[in-house]
């Protein structure tokens, strides 16, 4: 049966080939029959005069089409940059959605290593529930033994992150393209010091946002025509704040609120460049979203073991009588200590840094003591009386969570107001 089927298939193939050849030959005969009368008309001269206008019109049409294709019109030339600009913006929005934040120029070239794919976190059912953290039991997490990029161990050549347990080769980070030359040098200078260095995971506060939170932030950017990965001058920041105030409170900023926005601008521009880097603006807005949508318990869950150990050391250093309680004034002093890694001139930039408690800041509603650190309330009698109010370890950790997170970036910009 197998042989019979094989022969049948061969016969069908031969029949198909014969049909194709016959059709091809018939087409050649028809073409020859059409060409001969045309040649006869050309020899007679009369036919040539009749067909020439049509051929000329056809040639003119073809020539005009070629001219249009090689030389685009003015409108096409004007729309080309627009299309390119839209493409660039679309790619920037895509990178922002993926959580990569700033895309360094080095990423434009081909690298041997593939950058990692970022996955945004998801809220757990118990995310808002209190988490128990022992005050007297240090976690002391050990750094990884192998490079997070190439997974190779080379002992002293690895640079640790001060927030998580990842370690990196400087060559691997250079090949990934996530760090420019000056950032790589900063890593080499600080990674093994008390100051420490934050890896590209921990440095980017935007990666803490969920898909829903990131969508909310992106929609606000789009409505205010904020272009991702671009620097912002003071007028653009003011315009953005006015837009947010109108959107959420249906009113413009007051003169006092505008002054606070300018103070925020100065805090985000410590080097006096005259503009805010995109990463600093994005981190500030990301912290605002976290404060708006997350509870204090949820923020504590974002802290790493290293950050919890640092918080223990700070609290125990203030708790001299070892009763597990400090005062409100000592709590504020501790919250300022998260930013000791910054230069002194950055710390003294302005006490009114980053007005998180102001109603203009994305509609953030603060709960508890953090709101008491705003300029309006800190100078009140209530705030003065609260200086002696007792603060337990659990309260201290909850109230300090947003400050600990704000101290993660390597940038010298201040992404949150320091408590008074």
Q: What is the pLDDT of residue 78?
A: 47
- Residue with the larger pLDDT of the pair 143 and 15: 143
pLDDT at 81 over 70: no
Q: Would you tell me how many other CB atoms lie within 10 Å of the CB of residue 420?
A: 16
Distance CA 335, CA 152 (A): 37
Instruction: Count the neighbouring beta carbons within 10 Å of the beta carbon of residue 283.
Output: 26
Residues 6+ apart with CB under 8 A from 362: 220, 244, 248, 285, 288, 289, 292
Per-residue pLDDT, averaged over 112-135, amounts to: 83
Give the rounded percent of residues in the chain with a pLDDT score beyond 90: 38
Q: What is the 3-state secondary structure (H, E, C) of 52-120?
A: HHHHHHHHHHHHHHHHHHHCCCHHHHHHHHHHHHHHHHHHHHHHHHCCCCCCCHHHHCCCCCCCCCCCC
Give me the pLDDT at residue 91, please. 66
Q: Which of 159, 148, 174, 282 is nearest to 228 (CA)?
A: 282
How buried is residue 125: exposed, middle or buried, by Cβ count under 10 Å (0-12/13-18/19+)? Answer: exposed
Contact criterion met (CB below 8 Å) for 286 and 209: yes
Q: How confident is the model over 234-264, as pLDDT tens digits?
A: 999 999 999 888 887 888 888 899 999 999 9
Q: Average pLDDT for residues 155-167, to the nearest whole number?
A: 89
Mean model confidence pLDDT for the chain: 74
Residues 418, 355 contacting (CB under 8 angstroms) = no
> Quick one: average pLDDT of 223-239?
89
Lowest mean per-residue pLDDT among 13-17, 118-122, 159-163, 251-255:
13-17
Q: Phi, psi at residue 276, to the nearest 5°?
A: -100, 130
Q: Higher confidence at residue 338 or residue 289?
A: 289
Exposed e or buried b for every residue in 43-81, given b needs 16+ CB within 10 A? eeeeeeeeeeeeeeeeeeeeeeeeeeeeeeeeeeeeeee
Confidence label for 92 from pLDDT (cuts 50, 70 and 90): low
Q: What is the pLDDT of residues 281-326, one digit of tens each?
A: 999 999 999 998 999 999 999 999 999 999 999 999 999 889 999 9
Q: With 90 as the cut, is the pLDDT of residue 62 above it?
A: no
- What string of DSSP letters covers 307-363? HHHHHHHHHHHH-TT-SSEEEHHHHHHHHHHTTTTS-HHHHTS-TT-S-TTSTTTTT
Q: Tell me what pLDDT residue 167 has.
A: 94
How many other C-beta atoms lie within 10 A of the C-beta of residue 381? 7
Assign 74 a pLDDT band (cuts: 50, 70, 90). very low
Structural domain boundaries of the chain?
207-406
Question: For residue 339, is pLDDT > 60?
Answer: yes
Q: Among 389, 393, 370, which Cα is nearest to 319's?
A: 393
pLDDT digit string, tens, across residues 386-410? 788 899 999 999 999 999 999 999 9
Reported as a pLDDT band with limits 50, 70 and 90, residue 178 is confident
Residue 127 has pLDDT above 70, yes or no: yes
């Amino acid at each position: 049966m197998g042989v019979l089927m094989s022969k049948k298939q061969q016969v069908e193939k031969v029949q198909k080939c014969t049909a194709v050849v016959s059709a091809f030959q018939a087409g050649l005969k028809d073409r020859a029959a059409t060409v001969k009368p045309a040649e006869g008309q050309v020899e007679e001269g009369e036919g040539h005069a009749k067909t020439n206008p049509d051929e000329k019109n056809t040639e003119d049409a073809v020539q005009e089409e070629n001219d249009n294709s090689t030389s685009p019109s003015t409108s096409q030339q004007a729309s080309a940059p627009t299309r390119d600009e839209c493409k660039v913006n679309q790619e920037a929005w895509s990178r922002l959605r993926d959580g990569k934040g700033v895309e360094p120029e080095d990423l434009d070239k081909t690298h041997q290593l593939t950058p990692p794919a970022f996955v945004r976190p998801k809220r757990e059912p118990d995310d808002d529930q209190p988490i128990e953290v022992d005050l007297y039991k240090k976690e002391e997490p050990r750094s990884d033994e192998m490079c997070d990029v190439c997974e190779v161990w080379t002992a002293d050549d690895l640079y640790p992150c001060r927030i998580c347990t990842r370690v990196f080769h400087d060559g691997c980070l250079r090949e990934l393209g996530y760090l420019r030359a000056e950032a790589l040098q900063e890593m080499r200078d600080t990674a093994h010091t008390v100051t420490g260095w934050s890896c590209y995971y921990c440095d980017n506060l935007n990666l803490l946002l969920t898909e829903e939170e990131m969508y909310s932030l992106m929609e606000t950017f789009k409505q205010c025509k904020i272009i991702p990965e671009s620097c912002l001058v003071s007028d653009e920041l003011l315009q953005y704040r006015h837009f947010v105030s109108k959107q959420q409170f249906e009113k413009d900023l007051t003169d006092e609120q505008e002054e606070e926005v300018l103070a925020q601008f100065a805090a985000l521009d410590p080097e006096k460049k005259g503009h805010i880097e995109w990463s600093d603006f994005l981190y500030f807005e990301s912290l605002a979203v976290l404060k708006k949508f997350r509870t204090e318990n949820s923020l504590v869950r974002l802290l790493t073991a290293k950050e919890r150990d640092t918080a223990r050391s700070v609290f125990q250093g203030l708790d001299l009588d070892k009763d597990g309680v400090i005062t409100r004034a000592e709590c504020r002093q501790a919250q300022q200590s998260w930013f000791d890694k910054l230069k002194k001139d950055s710390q003294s930039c302005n006490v009114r840094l980053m007005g998180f408690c102001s109603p203009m800041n994305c509609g953030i509603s603060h709960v508890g003591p953090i709101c008491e650190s705003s300029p309006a309330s800190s100078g009140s009698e209530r705030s003065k009386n609260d200086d002696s109010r007792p603060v337990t370890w659990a309260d201290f950790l909850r109230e300090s969570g947003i400050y600990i997170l704000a101290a993660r970036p390597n940038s010298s910009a201040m992404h949150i107001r320091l408590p008074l």
